Amino acid sequence: MRIIAITGASGGLAQEIVKQLPAEDFVIALGRSAEKLKKCYASRPNTACYELDMTSDLAIFEMVEKLYAEHGHIDVFINNAGYGDFSEFDAYTTAQIRDMFDINTFATMTFSRLVGHKMKEAGHGHIVNIASIAGLIASAKSSVYSATKFAVIGFSNALRLELAGSKVYVTTINPGPIATTFFDKADPSGEYLKSVGRFVLQPEEVARRTVAILGKNKREVNMPLSMAAAHKFYTLFPKITDFLARRVFNYK
């Protein structure tokens, strides 16, 4: 039986990931509200729900210690918690920027460091960080969100190298826009999601590809195919891609 922990567990993508896991997998669901988590997973066996303040380093440290004390080990840790806000670069306050980094970046880094250390000691494990294609290709009105995800990908790439000899894998999942409640905050008007309709992924597909690589030494998963190809083009022709992103593909 694998023990799989996931943050942001009340979100749509997380629920779909858990839904696609084998019933015998033991799931540790982490989120802001224990009550909401229990409602989400009331019918699933082998599931434990924990309330957590993701903005507190101390709370994260204490949670990691608690999970290992109660469950002994963690085979897969999925850093899924995160949110976006697509605003003009000069519309953010410093507090708003710090808040997004706290959840999207610093919590992921803290969990990865603490859990990665224990996995290294155990000689096995898999850290899966849900980042974004926005962390590979930036676009207008996503300056802060893209920065949080660029940081996650950079951290993950370095962590992967440091853990390479320990049989601990590190994978980044980099999806394009997903049809979840993420856009309730990121795009309240709904105009962006509507304009990029042909690129929008369903949570079932992202979950399927995520579940498929658990326990495997996979570097990254970029989707959809069109955006994965755009990233390769970007690395070869960055100036052209900047022009296209600014004039042709800027839907925000």
Active site residue 251: no
User: DSSP assignment, residue 166?
Assistant: G
229 — pLDDT class (breaks 50, 70, 90): confident
Q: Whose structure tokens read 């079932």?
A: 204
* Alpha-carbon span 103 to 83, nearest angstrom: 8
Q: What share of the chain is helix, strand, coil (3-state, %, to 5)?
A: 55, 15, 30
* CATH code for the domain of 67: 3.40.50.720
Tokens of 251: 């839907």
pLDDT of residue 182: 62
Tens of pLDDT, residues 19-67: 999 999 999 999 999 999 999 999 999 999 999 999 999 999 999 999 9
pLDDT of residue 249 exceeding 60, the answer is no
> Which of 149-153, 185-189, 239-243 has the weakest average pLDDT?
185-189
pLDDT of residue 18 exceeding 70, the answer is yes
Q: Is the pTM of this model over 0.85?
A: yes
Tens of pLDDT, residues 177-202: 888 666 555 556 555 555 555 668 99
Query: What domain count does the chain have?
Result: 1
pLDDT of residue 235: 72
140 — pLDDT class (breaks 50, 70, 90): confident
pLDDT of residue 248 exceeding 50, the answer is no
**Of these residues, 41, 50, 92, 145, which one is catalytic?**
145
142 — pLDDT class (breaks 50, 70, 90): confident
More confident residue, 83 or 195: 83
Domain that holds residue 73: 3-249
Considering only CA atoms, which of 94, 73, 72, 92 is closest in space to residue 84? 92
Query: Any bridge partners for residue 30, and if so which?
Result: 50
pLDDT, the chain, mean: 89
* Sheet strand arrangement including 3-6: 47-51, 26-31, 3-6, 76-79, 125-130, 168-175, 220-223
* Alpha-carbon span 58 to 107, nearest angstrom: 11
